[in-house]
Amino acid sequence: MSRKTLKLAIIGGGSSYTPELIEGVLKRRDDLPVSEIHLVDIEEGEDKLYVIQTLAQRMIDKVGADITITANFDRREAISGADFVMTQFRVGGLKARANDERIPLKYNVIGQETTGAGGFAKALRTIPVILDICRDIEELAPEAWMLNFTNPAGLVTEAVNKHTNVKSIGLCNVPVSMQMMIADMMACELKDLQLEFAGLNHLVWVHKAWLDGKNITAEVLAKVGDGANFSMKNIFEEPWDPDFLRALAAIPCPYHRYFYQTDAMLEEEKQSAIDKGTRAEQVMLTEQALFDLYRDENLNEKPKELEERGGAYYSDASLNLVDAIYNNRNTIHVVNVPNNGAINTLPLDAVIECSSVIGSWGAKPVTVEELSPAVNGLLQQVKAYEQLTIDAAVLGDYDKALMALSSHPLVPDIRKAKSILDDILRVNAAYLPQFKVSVP
C-alpha cells in the first residue's frame, strides 16, 4: 500500500488492557506506520487514563518510536480523522457488572456477564452508547474501521451493522486461545493446523480440524474429554463428558459449558460468589493491583501480570486485524461479521463469529459446511435471544426485552425472566434512559 501515517483512537483508553495494545503497536512498527494514538475515556476514569497515558509514553520513549500519545475526554477529537477506532469500554464499570452477575443468581439462574443473563443487562447498557459513538464516526471518520472488543461483542457488532453505516468488525480472544490450546494438545505448529470455526461470539464451535491435511476432530475431542487443558482463565473448568463430546462431533468453546453443563456451572457460580465474590468483584482487586504496577515510574513495558488478567491475545488479535486490513494481507482470522450466507440457516444480516478473510475489503466470512441439528438448534435459539435484545436495547421496548430473556436458553421459565428483567431495569435505571416504563 502507498504508505501514509495511521491514527488510532482507543475508546475506553483508561482500560488496564491498553498497555498490551501499545506493545502491539510498537512490535509492528515495520508494517504499520502508526503516528498517533488517541486515548479517550469518561471523566470518572480520569485518574486511570492518566496512569495509562504516562505508562504508554514511557513504553514509546523506550523504543524511540515516533508516535504521539494524546489522552483526554473529547471523543469527537479522538475519532476525527482516525483510521481505526478501537472500543473497549464498560458502561457502569465493574460495579454494574457485579450487579449483572448477582441479580440472576437470586433466581437460581446463571448470571455470567456475556453469555448468561448478566450479558443481557450489559447489552442494554452498551448498545445505545456504541450507536452514539458510531454517529460520531459516520460524521468524523466515515472511512475508519471500528474494531469492537466491547462485550457482548457479537450482539454489539450486530447492533452496529444493523443501525449504522460504520465499517466494523467484532473481536474476541476466545478463538485465538482455542487455536493455541489445540496446537498445544496436538504438539504442532499453529500454521499446520486448519480449523473451521463458526458460531456466535462465546458460542463458537470448531466444526472440523485438520493437521497436515488429516481430519483430527475426533482426536482433539478425545483429548479434551480426557482432560486436556481447554479453558480460559475466567471460566470454571468443569470436566467434559467424553461420550457427549464424541456425540457432538464438533469442538465446543469453553463458554459452551454454561449451555451444556448448566447445573454444575450454576452451582460453581453460586458457591464462588459466596466464597470470594462474583467474578466482577475479583476483577476489581486484580485491576487495583495492575494499576499499582502501572504507576511505577520505572515501568516502561507491559508487565507480565497483565497476561493473567484473562484477556490474553486480545491485543495481538486486534493489531493483526489492523495489519491485515492496512496491508491487504488476506489472512484468515476468526471475527464477528455479518453472516452473508456463511451459515446458511441464519439470516444474511445476523452477525456470526466465523473464520474470515481479512484484507482491504474488511472481513468476509468463509462458508461453513452444513451444521448438525444439535449445533443449529442451540445457535438459532441464542441468535433469537440476541436479535430480541438488540431490538429491546435500541427501542427501549419492555416487551422485546421480556421476550429476549424468555428466549434465553439459560432462563428456564418466563416467571424468572420477568423477575430478572424487572430487577435489571430497576438497578440500571440510570444507564437505561431508553426504557420509558417505570418498573415498580
The only residue of 406, 427, 431, 432 in contact with a second copy, by rule CB under 8 A:
406
Sign of the CA dihedral 250, 212, 186, 335?
negative
Residue 210 interacting with a second copy (CB under 8 A)? yes
Q: Distance between CA 113 and CA 295 in Å, rounded?
A: 29
Residues 259-278 that bind a second copy (CB under 8 A): 260-264
- Give the range of 47-55, 146-154, 282-290, 342-350 binding a second copy by CB under 8 A: 342-350
Q: Distance between CA 87 and CA 173 in Å, rounded?
A: 14
- Stretch (H or E) spanning 133: helix 117-140
Residue 349 neighbours by CB under 8 Å, 6+ apart: 158, 161, 162, 338, 339
Report the C-alpha dihedral over residues 362, 363, 364, 365, rounded to 10 degrees. 180
Q: Distance between CA 175 and CA 197 in Å, rounded?
A: 8
Q: Is residue 333 part of an annotated ligand binding site?
A: no
Is 260 marked active-site? no
CB atoms within 10 A of CB 215: 11
Question: Judged by CB under 8 A, how many residues of this single chain contact a second copy?
Answer: 79
Residue 344 interacting with a second copy (CB under 8 A)? yes
The CB-of-326 to a second copy minimum distance in angstroms stands at 8
Closest CB to a second copy among residues 302, 408: 408
Q: 3-class DSSP state for residue 323? A: helix
Would you say 150 and 290 are in contact if contact means Cβ atoms under 8 Å apart? Answer: no
Residue 65 interacting with a second copy (CB under 8 A)? no
Residue 163 interacting with a second copy (CB under 8 A)? no
Which residues are registered as beta bridge partners of 137? none
Residue 207 interacting with a second copy (CB under 8 A)? no
Residues 130-159 that bind a second copy (CB under 8 A): 143
Closest CB to a second copy among residues 25, 421: 421
Residues 211-250 that bind a second copy (CB under 8 A): 211-213, 241, 243-244, 246-249
Residues 347-376 that bind a second copy (CB under 8 A): 348, 355, 357, 359-361, 364-370, 372-374, 376
CB atoms within 10 A of CB 94: 17
* Spacing of C-alpha 189 from chain mean position: 26
Q: Distance between CA 60 and CA 290 in Å, rounded?
A: 19
Residue 308 interacting with a second copy (CB under 8 A)? no
The only residue of 231, 383, 427, 431 in contact with a second copy, by rule CB under 8 A:
383
The CB-of-282 to a second copy minimum distance in angstroms stands at 25
The only residue of 2, 274, 436, 438 in contact with a second copy, by rule CB under 8 A:
2
Q: Distance between CA 105 and CA 43 in Å, rounded?
A: 32
Q: Is residue 188 part of an annotated ligand binding site?
A: no
The only residue of 289, 414, 429, 439 in contact with a second copy, by rule CB under 8 A:
414
Closest CB to a second copy among residues 63, 414: 414
- Give the range of 9-17, 125-133, 311-319, 327-335 binding a second copy by CB under 8 A: 327-335
Q: Distance between CA 265 and CA 230 in Å, rounded?
A: 16
Bridge pairing between strands 351-359 and 193-200: antiparallel
Looking at 17, 50, 255, 260, which residue is catalytic?
255
Closest CB to a second copy among residues 68, 330: 330
Q: 3-class DSSP state for residue 16? A: coil
Closest CB to a second copy among residues 285, 439: 439
Q: Is residue 148 part of an annotated ligand binding site?
A: no
Q: 3-class DSSP state for residue 369? A: coil
* Residues making up the binding site for substrate: 97, 151
* Residues making up the binding site: 97, 151, 172, 202
Residues annotated catalytic, as ranges = 255
